[in-house]
A and B are shown apart, each in its own frame.
Chain A
Amino acid sequence: MGGPYAGAVTEPALQVAGLEKRYAGRAVVDDLTFRARTATVLALLGPNGAGKTTTVEICEGFRTADSGEVRVLGLPPKDPSLRARVGVMPQTGGAYPGLRAGEMLRLVASFAATPLDPAELLERLGLDRVAGTAYRRLSGGQQQRLSLALAVVGRPELVFLDEPTAGLDPQARHATWELIEALRRDGVSVVLTTHLLEEAERLADDVVIVDAGRVVAAGSVRELTSTGAAGQLRFAGPPALDLAALLLELPAGCTATESPPGQYVITGAVDPQLLASVTAWCAGRGALARDLRVETRSLEDVFLDLTGRELRS
């Protein structure tokens, strides 16, 4: 090995293949397969009870899979050497109620060879004023941020964050997002679970949508939102434009319709290139495209299409 990360460039940070976990005969995780690339953010997105936490806890080595294979940084999840290389933020708890926030962070920092500076970490997460407050007296949001700090203080290569922003106010959520973005920038791999579409859309390079323990869709946010009847481009113009000629200028798979006269709808993967092609084509005919409106499918549309529109508990 040419250094601790020599293999990391080619090897995924996390590989999960055919993962299965049953509780009392019921499959909570059912043939789950995905991988997280190094130095990227992967979001496991799904409704409550989809099996996200169980999956992450198997990857963290807390639970044992019934079948399937998991490789964390190329190693089995329970390999002791991973404990210094992987940071974990569980969904709840995880600190001595009687220790102060600063004491807890310094304690976990003392387990690492070259930890981050605890005082600096507390300050950047807005916890410096409660460093002397016992963990049990912190608000839920403060406990969450301390838990995040505990996950990263040892300078890990890979971080698992289970619902990192659940119950946070907007400022705290942004502080968390900034930290996650900075981790990725500095080459740290992040695997997070969330049921917040906004969070996945903003943070994740790759999204794995999980429902009832199965992967229902996976890919980059852009891939997921641009598949199928992904987007629509609407505009108004002079009636009876030659749409067959327009379609020749556009990527295959696009459709163009006029209804009512003078109102046009183009469907397809709406990206800046498509928009430019349509407006250039109109300009070439001396036609002004008015009321131009782009309607892309949000991750929310994709998510709801795939997991059903009904709320489930």
Chain B
Amino acid sequence: MTAWPPGSLTARPGAAPWRRMLATQTAAELKLVLRNGEQVLLSLIIPLGLLVLLVTVPFIRVDGPRADFFVPGVLALAIMSTAFTGQAIGVGFERQYGVLKRLGATPLPRAVLLSAKTLAVLAVEVLQVALLCLTGLLLGWEPTGSVLAVAALVVLGTAAFSGLGLLLGGTLRGLTTLAAANLVWFVLLVLGGVLFPLSAFGGAEPVLSLLPTAALSTGLREVLSAGEAPWREVVALTGWAVASLAAASRAFRWE
């Protein structure tokens, strides 16, 4: 047999430059997200469908222009879907299938792996925000406010949701993560100021407003509809981000 010429397998160990690893790993993460039908449904189709439905069919009463209320809410929902639900489920199954363990035995540093996941999440979010904003504009939405403030809220919300997603997906089994992440998604959809104004919950409003989804949706609404600076929400989201990322980095299990 001449299948393996002499010297063809001689050791030549060495890690690739980290930029190359980051590029290929990010591309792989993006491919996985966009190929996963359930994730595309959760991240793109459901938010888009909800937005059109909520703005055009007046079955939930809100004060002021409908788009002004629902576009920021659905943006918060979309970011939660990608950074929290999608990431938690993805990581949960990657652990269960031994993918993270295997990657841990390659030269890919953990920091590069997590950066690649973050970049993939941000790339999907850019797509989501673009599609949702465009749809909102077509439905007559007239936003105001600072793009910088929006970006800050999105980045902080992403950090908070990623921390929570990694905490969940990094500690539970794949199917348990799937169930828990979808349940949390649904609860926060209802209680997070996406479908209903928080004032609908009466005395619970001050507490609910601290939930990450509520902080993100309210903050986006303050900026985009009223042009106000969302300080309270920035503080809440920063708190969630710090606490969840710290907890995730302590509790995360790679297999």
Where the two chains meet, the residues of A that have a C-beta atom closer than 8 Å to any C-beta of B are 4-5, 60-62, 80, 83-88, 90, 92-99, 103, 106-108, 110-114, 116, 124, 150, 152, 154-157, 175, 178-179, 182-183, 185-188
Q: Could you tell me the distance between the alpha carbons of A68 and B1 in the complex, rounded to whole angstroms?
A: 42
Taking CB atoms, residues of chain A closer than 8 Å to B106 are: 83, 108, 111-112, 154
Are A86 and B16 in touch, CB under 8 angstroms?
no
Chain B residues within 8 Å of chain A by Cβ, number: 37
Are B9 and A96 in touch, CB under 8 angstroms?
no
Are B21 and A110 in touch, CB under 8 angstroms?
yes
For the complex with contacts A112-B13, A188-B9, 15 further pairs of A-B residues with Cβ separation under 8 Å are: A61-B104, A61-B105, A94-B98, A94-B102, A96-B97, A103-B28, A103-B31, A111-B16, A111-B21, A113-B14, A113-B15, A175-B3, A178-B4, A185-B4, A187-B11
CB-contact partner of A111 in B15, B94, B101, under 8 A: B15
CB-contact partner of B13 in A60, A108, A154, under 8 A: A154
How many contacts between A and B, using CB within 8 angstroms?
133
Are B12 and A62 in touch, CB under 8 angstroms?
no
Q: Could you tell me the distance between the alpha carbons of A183 and B8 in the complex, rounded to whole angstroms?
A: 9
Are B99 and A186 in touch, CB under 8 angstroms?
no
Q: Could you tell me the distance between the alpha carbons of A87 and B13 in the complex, rounded to whole angstroms?
A: 10
Taking CB atoms, residues of chain B closer than 8 Å to A103 are: 28, 31
Q: Could you tell me the distance between the alpha carbons of A17 and B91 in the complex, rounded to whole angstroms?
A: 36
CB-contact partner of A150 in B21, B93, B102, under 8 A: B102
Q: Is the interface of B mostly helix, strand, loop or mixed?
A: loop
- Given the known interface contacts A83-B106, A97-B93, A110-B16, the answer about A183 and B9 at a Cβ–Cβ threshold of 8 Å is yes
Taking CB atoms, residues of chain B closer than 8 Å to A187 are: 10-11
Are B98 and A112 in touch, CB under 8 angstroms?
no
Query: Residues 1-37 of chain B: 1 if any A CB is under 8 Å from the residue's CB, otherwise 0?
Result: 1011011111111111000110011001001100110
Q: Could you show 13 A-B contacts with beta carbons less than 8 Å apart?
A: A5-B11, A83-B104, A93-B102, A94-B101, A103-B31, A107-B24, A110-B24, A111-B15, A111-B21, A111-B24, A155-B10, A186-B10, A188-B10
Taking CB atoms, residues of chain B closer than 8 Å to A111 are: 15-16, 21, 24, 106-108
Q: List residues 151-200 of chain B with CB under 8 A from any CB of chain A.
A: none
Q: List residues 46-98 of chain B with CB under 8 A from any CB of chain A.
A: 93-94, 97-98
Smallest CB–CB gap between A104 and chain B, Å? 8
Taking CB atoms, residues of chain A closer than 8 Å to B3 are: 124, 175, 178, 182
Are B6 and A99 in touch, CB under 8 angstroms?
no
Taking CB atoms, residues of chain A closer than 8 Å to B16 are: 110-113
